[in-house]
Amino acid sequence: MLAVDRDSGDFLYRQVIDLINDNIESGTLRPGDRLPSLRRMSDKIGVSIPTVRQAYIELERQRRVESRPQSGFYVRAVRTNELVRPAPRFRAASKPACIGCRTLMERVYDGLYSPDIVPLGIANPCMASPAAKGLHRAMKRIMARVEERAISYAPTQGEPRLRRQIAYRYLDTVGSTVDPNEICITNGGQEALLLALQAVADKGDVIAVESPTYHGLLELIDSLGMLAIEVETCPEEGVMLDSLARTLEAHPVKACMFSTTLSNPLGVTMSEEKRAEVVRLIEDHDVVLIEDDVYGDLLFDGNRPKPAEFYSRRGNVLTCGSFSKTAAPGYRIGWLLTGNYGSEIERLKRSYSCSSGLLQQLTLSEFLATGDYDRYLKTLRPVLQQNAERMRALVAEHFPEVTRTSQPVGGSVLWLELPKCVDSEVLFDNAIEAGISIAPGHIFAPRKRYTNFVRLSFGHPWSDAIESSIAWLGAEVSRLSR
């Protein structure tokens, strides 16, 4: 196990990861075994301690190992029926396409807001343990403090206090400086995506997306009369650089829309180098990256990576953030780091929706400034992590053995590959009949694909109804795969 190749061109810490993975795969390291200490490993293979630490932390993120306080890193125990990892690489279509599943998408949305439906089809992490009380308190303070101003128009670009808080937060969490004047407040992350896309691309243009990708993004591309082309991904690293490079060579791509942290539905977080490489590649091709970073605060370990925007040298990256996944979905407050496109984005924002809600902006800036937001995230993440564990355990128990799942390290969704013969549209229809909403794989790609995949959300307060719904789904999948 103990060899690295300094001439291979691969990062050293990735070689360390590969070494350990090989040893786990071969059975040399078994579940429950302790990894060599950082110092010992460093001495043995001749790389620095920080490099070993980086490898161990990455392995922990991949859930191959776990750290135990005061003790070290251990190979994770495999549960009975633990699900194998998803397919190593999601292959992509090679031509731009319109969206083929409008009707199914609409049916998925139709069921979401009925109180009688168990809502496993919507990604809504913060409702697993809502911050309503704290937000209500903050809002009442604001109403008392600013009185009449609370109902008036916010500036188009957004309330300056909130923009400053968002900038502070970048400094605080990733150590990067953002100019509050380069932030535009939007109606949730969705409007941030809209404004970014409209600022850089036009009807008929080709937009590169991950495969699979967030369905709301596909619907947006479709609404604007643009075409989506898929870039291959893998569940460990996200966007595959070779596939991205090929796509940029072969097609007149105007922009890439990638989720850098906790991609939806895969749940992948791009490493820091991956971000740098993606940005270099898109800037070399004079393409814009629209970065969907709405889940950044929801990594279970709380270590948010730098947005890709900070690796940009030319201002070609537009980063979309939001409080909808992390605090208050119904406030409809997101933001956009506007890169080179500040004045164009402000003009679009004004003509599309004038400005965003002032009271919610003031309330969120209060919620951030008091530290309540951070304290809230610290209570939310363990709830999500526990929900994720419970859901995976139940899937392992009730679904056919060949089912593969993602290994969530944050966020609120689990991505499942069902037996090949199962059509998840049929599963969706039957589930809705049974009072359960799910997100069928079809809606996560422009062409018919992922037809035997399904996304389940664990972003709800855990309940018996959820447990029995998962059991029901498992039984139904078994029935459909017979």
Query: Does 72 contact a second copy by CB under 8 A?
Result: no
Please say whether the dihedral angle defined by the alpha carbons of residues 198, 201, 206 and 209, taken in this order, is positive or negative: negative
# residues near a second copy by CB under 8 A: 60
Query: Please, which residues have CB within 8 angstroms of residue 241's CB and are 6 or more apart in sequence?
Result: 274, 277, 278, 281
Query: Does 152 contact a second copy by CB under 8 A?
Result: yes
Query: Does 136 contact a second copy by CB under 8 A?
Result: yes
Q: Is 377 left (phi over 0), alpha (psi -120 to 50) or beta?
A: alpha
* From 47-55, 195-203, 269-277, 438-446, span contacting a second copy (CB under 8 A): 195-203
Helix (H, G, I), strand (E, B) or coil at 150: helix
Query: Does 357 contact a second copy by CB under 8 A?
Result: yes
Query: Does 213 contact a second copy by CB under 8 A?
Result: no
Among 216, 315, 419, 435, binds a second copy (CB under 8 A): 216
Are 21 and 64 in contact by the 8 Å Cβ rule? The answer is yes
Q: Strand locations in 98-148, DSSP E? A: 118-119
Is the peptide bond prior to 265 cis by the omega test (within 30 degrees of 0)? yes
Closest CA to 437 of 409, 469, 464, 412: 469
Taking the complex as a whole, how short is the minimal distance between the CB of residue 145 and a second copy, in angstroms? 11
Taking the complex as a whole, how short is the minimal distance between the CB of residue 194 and a second copy, in angstroms? 5
Query: Does 273 contact a second copy by CB under 8 A?
Result: no
* From 89-97, 130-138, 255-263, 434-442, span contacting a second copy (CB under 8 A): 130-138
Q: Please give the Cα distance from 417 to 435 (Å, whole number).
A: 22
Query: Does 359 contact a second copy by CB under 8 A?
Result: yes
β-strands 404-405, 439-440: how paired?
A: unpaired
* From 151-159, 245-253, 256-264, 269-277, span contacting a second copy (CB under 8 A): 151-159
Residue 271 in tokens: 């490493």
Among 5, 147, 433, 464, binds a second copy (CB under 8 A): 147
Query: Does 425 contact a second copy by CB under 8 A?
Result: no
Among 165, 198, 211, 406, binds a second copy (CB under 8 A): 198
Q: Please give the Cα distance from 353 to 156 (Å, whole number).
A: 9
Taking the complex as a whole, how short is the minimal distance between the CB of residue 358 and a second copy, in angstroms? 4
Is the peptide bond prior to 212 cis by the omega test (within 30 degrees of 0)? yes
Helix (H, G, I), strand (E, B) or coil at 322: strand
Per-residue x/- mask for a second copy, residues 217 to 246, rule CB under 8 A?
Answer: --xx-xx-x---------------------
Among 16, 92, 154, 317, binds a second copy (CB under 8 A): 154
Helices (H) and strands (E) in the chain, counts: 15, 16
Are 311 and 271 in contact by the 8 Å Cβ rule? The answer is no
- Where does this chain bind a second copy (CB under 8 A)? 102, 106, 109, 112-113, 122, 124, 127, 130-132, 135-136, 139-140, 143, 147-148, 150-156, 187-188, 190-191, 194, 198, 202-203, 216, 219-220, 222-223, 225, 324, 327-332, 343, 347-348, 350-360
